[in-house]
Amino acid sequence: MQLALEVGQTAKPEAVMFWILGPMAVVAALGMLLVKKAVHSAILMAFVMVVLAIFYIAQDAVFLGIVQVVVYTGAVMMLFLFILMLVGVDTSDSLTETIAGLRPIAITAAVGFGGLMVALLGRATLGRQAVGLAQANTDGNVEGIAYALFSTYVFPFEVVSALLITAAMGAMVLAHSQRTTARPTQRQLSIDRFRGKSLGSAAGLPGPGVYARHNAVDVPALLPDGTPAPTSVNASLQARGDMLDYKSFDLAEVNTQIEEEK
Amino acid sequence: MDASNYLYISALLFTIGAVGVVVRRNAIVVFMCIELMLNAANLSFVTFSRINGNLDGQVMAFFTMVVAACEVVVGLAIIVTIYRSRRSASVDDASLLKR
C-alpha cells in the first residue's frame, strides 16, 4: 500500500495532517507535565499515542499503527488507569519542587538537549532524498514485516518471547502478597470492639447523614450534640477530599422560627 | 513537507518525556513519561524506515513495543508493591537508602 503519493516529498494531504496533529501532540505532551492530576496526564498520554498511531499509518507502517492502537492505547493505558485507580486516587501529586533548583536546571538541560537534537537533525538530513516504502511494501506491509521477523530477526523474536513470559512471572511474584498474620475471626473482632480503648464504635460506625435537602454518602451524620461525625463517611471519599460540609444542608433557621411561633 | 519533519516531532516528544521523568514526583506519571520517550524513539524508527526504504526500522519499533509492554507490567507491579508498604506513590518517599 502506498499512502504517500510522492517519494521523498510527502503528499499535500499528509502535510496538512502533520501540521494539524503534530502541534496538538506536542501540546498534549507538554500538558502531561503541567496538569496536576495523574488521570488527566494519562488521558493526554493516550491522545499522544493515538496521534503517533496516525503518523505510523501515514508513513506506510500500517501494521505498527494498528499495533500501537491495540497495545498502547488499548492495553498499556488501560493498565495505567487501572493502577491509578488502585494506587493514586488519594495521593495528590504536588507540583512543588522538593529538590531546590531542580526545575530550572531540568528546563535548561531540556532546552539544550532539544536544541542540540533539532540542530543535529537539521544538518544530518539536509538534502537527503527519502526512498519511501513503495518497494518494500509491494507484497503488503504485514507480509513484509512477517518476512523480516521470521527470517532475519527470528532469534531476537524468540528472546523477546522469553522476556514476555519472564515479565508476566515477575509481575505475578511482585504483586502477590502473603499474609504475615492470621486473618482475624469474627469472635476476635467482636472482643476487640468491646474490650478496646473506647466503646465509641462498639455498635459499629454511624452511617452517613440523611438531610432534608441532601441524602448521600458524602455528607457526615450529626451526633446528638450537633457536631458532625467524620467517621460516618467512607475513608476513601475523605482521602479524595469529596466529603461535603453538613452546614450547607442545615435547616437551623427554619426550625427556630417554628419553635418561636408556638 | 519533508519526511524528516517527523524526526523533529520525535526529538521534541523525547525531550518533553525526559523533562517529565526529572520534574514530576508521582511514580505513575514518571512512568508515563518514560513511555512517551519510548514512543518518540519508535516514531524515529518508523521515519528512518521510510527514509531508507526498508522494513528493518519497523521491526525494531515492534520489538521496542514488546519490551515497553514488559517494562510497564513489571514497573507497575513494583509501584503497587511500594504503595502497599509505604502508602505513597511518590518517588521522593522511597528514600530509605539515603539515610
- Tell me what the pLDDT averaged over chain A comes to: 81
Which residue from A95, A83, A88 is spatially nearest to A38, judged by alpha carbons?
A88
User: pLDDT tens across A58-83, in order?
Assistant: 988 999 999 999 998 889 999 999 88
pLDDT band at B92 (very low <50, low <70, confident <90, very high): confident
The pTM for the full model equals 0.77
| Mean pLDDT confidence for A118-134 | 74
- In the 3-class helix/strand/coil scheme, how is chain A assigned residue by residue? CCCCCCCCECCHHHHHHHHHHHHHHHHHHHHHHHCCCHHHHHHHHHHHHHHHHHHHHHCCCHHHHHHHHHHHHHHHHHHHHHHHHHHHHHCCCCCCCCCCCHHHHHHHHHHHHHHHHHHHHHHHCCCCCCCCCCCCCCCCHHHHHHHHHHCCCHHHHHHHHHHHHHHHHHHHHHHCCCCCCCCCCHHHHHHHHHHCCCCCCCCCCCCCCECCCCECCCCCEECCCCCEEHHHCCHHHHHHCCCCCHHHHCCHHHHHHHHHHC
Centre a 10 Å sphere on the Cβ of residue A45 and count the other Cβ atoms it contains. 27
A123 to chain B: closest CA residue: B4
Chain B, residues 13-72, CB within 8 A of chain A, namely 13-20, 22-26, 28-29, 31-33, 35-36, 39, 42-43, 46-47, 49-56, 58-59, 61-63, 65-72
Q: Could B77 and A79 be called an inter-chain contact, meaning their C-beta atoms sit closer than 8 Å?
A: no
Pick the range with the lowest mean pLDDT from A247-251, A258-262, B41-45. Answer: A258-262
Q: Which residues of A touch B72 (CB under 8 A)?
A: 76, 79-80
- A-B contacts (CB, under 8 Å): 235
Q: Could B23 and A113 be called an inter-chain contact, meaning their C-beta atoms sit closer than 8 Å?
A: no
Q: Which residues of B touch A151 (CB under 8 A)?
A: none
User: pLDDT tens across A198-225, in order?
Assistant: 777 777 777 777 776 776 778 888 777 7
Residues 6 or more apart whose Cβ sits within 8 Å of residue A39: A81, A84, A88
- Top-confidence residue, A126 or A79: A79
Give residue A242's pLDDT. 73
Question: For B9, which of A26, A86, A152 is closest by C-beta distance?
Answer: A26
ipTM of the complex: 0.92
Q: Which residues of B touch A144 (CB under 8 A)?
A: 55
